[in-house]
Each structure stands twice: as C-alpha cells, then as structure tokens.
C-alpha cells in the first residue's frame, strides 16, 4: 500500500492527468476525480489510482473523494484542486451571467469545497498540502475571457486567505498560475497557425509548456521541499508575466535592429 495519498480533481486530462501520473509514479495513492467518467477510464485497473466521477461544485463529490482516500490508502496527505472551466459570452450578451455562475461554481466554489473537505483529513495526518491550479489569467487581464479571469483571480486570493487560516495546523495552501499549456483544451488554439504564432510570440521561452511541467511544480509545492512555502502563487508561464508586453528578437542586444 502507498504510504501517502493525494486527491486530484480535474484528473481526466491535461494538467490533472499529468499530476495523477506523476504522484502515482512517486509512490502516492491517488484519488482521481473528474466529471468525465470516460476520461477516468484511462486509469482503470490501477491499484494505486482510485477514480471518482463527479462535479467538484457538489459538496458530496469532495467529501466522497476524501473518504475514498481514507478507505483505500488509510490517509490523506495532499489535495490538488485542479478542476476548472472557462468560456462565457461578452458581459452584455444573453446568458453571460448564467455562464459566470457556472464557471464560478467550478473555479471558486469547487476550490472552497475542496479545501473544506480535505482539511479535516490533513489535520488528522498532522498536516499536509493543498495546491490549487489557478492561471496566469488570474494575475492579468485577457480579451474575451472576463469570467475565467475573474474566477481565477478569486482562486488566488482564496489561496492566500485560506493559507493564513490553516497555517497554524501545518496545512500549507498554494497555487500555480500556468501559462500557455499544451492540453486537449488548447488543441484548437494550437491548431490555428496564426493564433498559435501570435500566442507563442508572447512567451520569452518561445514555446508552450507541457502538462508534465506544470505537474512538476504542483509536486514541488506538495512535497517536503516546499515545507516553508504557503499562501503563494507560482507563475509557470515561460516568462510571460515577467514582461511588459514588449519582446524583441533574440538577436537584439541593445542596438536597434537594422
């Protein structure tokens, strides 16, 4: 039996799937949670991975995930609250507020519920770590994604505030803010040559990240290596947030290009 356990939400694809695989590789028992039962089928037959199909906006899903960790692995040491959705029409468009409510339910309410459900089990284990997947969009504005940006910003300040509340119990709460990441959700953007080139030009490192690279930072924050880190957000964005928006050609070194 694994000697540590983690709950990962939004586990069926992208950063969540990469996190499930990484934690399992490194000896954790994993409870993988996602709304997509079909996506979770990829983990079928694994003794070190238990799956749960459910919506993180439902308190019952979060409670059930923690209960599965205790039932199958005897404890809970970490929670990766990664589930998230986007997509909303312009603010004045029909259905905009309904879309905001739906996105908020997953991206903010789902994180609150995840913390609420995980905290008692982490407390019983003597402490632990919660890592939230926010976004670079929670630290800056982007066109046409007002609802997503709003909820990801809320998740970051939730992490800061909750980290203060739980620090005395040795429960650390942090977030990552991914930049452009190659996942199934971004496949359409990457398949559009013009859009892909425009987006990639914004990245000082000159490429999209892989989901595994994001999962490695989640792993770090959940691990003893980050034992003195709480209440912070780490951008994992290839340098996007380091820039004012002005990026010059790699050959430019202080002399105006000819």
Q: Which residues are catalytic?
A: 148
Distance CA 133, CA 156 (A): 9
| Region of residue 111 (left: phi > 0; alpha: psi -120 to 50; beta: else) | alpha
**Whole-number Cα distances in Å, 160 to 16, 128, 130, 157, 199:** 22, 16, 12, 5, 29
Chain position carrying tokens 């425009």: 198
Both tokens assigned to 107: 């991206």
Q: Which residues contact 77 (CB under 8 A, 6 or more apart)?
A: 4, 5, 6, 28, 122, 125, 128, 129, 222
Chain position carrying tokens 């692995």: 73
Both tokens assigned to 150: 């709003």
Q: 36 and 57 in contact (C-beta within 8 Å)?
A: no
**Whole-number Cα distances in Å, 128 to 57, 139, 229:** 23, 26, 12
Distance CA 213, CA 235 (A): 12
């Amino acid at each position: 039996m694994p000697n540590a356990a983690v709950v990962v939400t939004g586990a069926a694809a992208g950063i969540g799937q990469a996190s499930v695989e990484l934690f399992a590789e490194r000896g954790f028992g994993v409870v993988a949670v996602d709304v997509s039962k079909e996506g979770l089928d990829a983990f079928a037959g694994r003794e070190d991975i238990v799956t749960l199909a459910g919506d993180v906006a439902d308190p019952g899903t979060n409670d059930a995930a923690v209960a599965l960790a205790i039932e199958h692995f005897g404890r809970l040491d970490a929670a990766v609250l990664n589930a998230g959705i986007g997509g909303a029409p312009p603010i004045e468009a029909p259905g905009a507020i309904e879309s905001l409510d739906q996105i908020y339910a997953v991206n903010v309410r789902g994180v609150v519920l995840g913390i609420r459900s995980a905290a008692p089990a982490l407390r019983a284990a003597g402490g632990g770590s919660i890592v939230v997947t926010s976004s670079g969009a929670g630290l800056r504005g982007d066109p046409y994604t007002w609802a997503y940006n709003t909820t990801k910003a809320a998740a970051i300040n939730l992490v800061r505030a909750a980290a203060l509340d739980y620090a005395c119990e040795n429960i650390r709460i942090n977030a990552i803010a991914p930049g452009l990441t190659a996942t199934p959700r971004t496949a359409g953007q990457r398949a559009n040559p013009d859009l892909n080139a425009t987006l990639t030009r914004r990245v000082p490192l000159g490429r999209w990240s892989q989901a595994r690279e994001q999962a490695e930072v989640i792993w770090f924050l959940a691990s003893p290596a980050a034992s003195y880190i709480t209440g912070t957000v780490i951008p994992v964005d290839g340098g996007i947030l380091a820039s004012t928006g002005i990026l010059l050609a790699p050959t430019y070194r202080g002399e105006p290009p000819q």
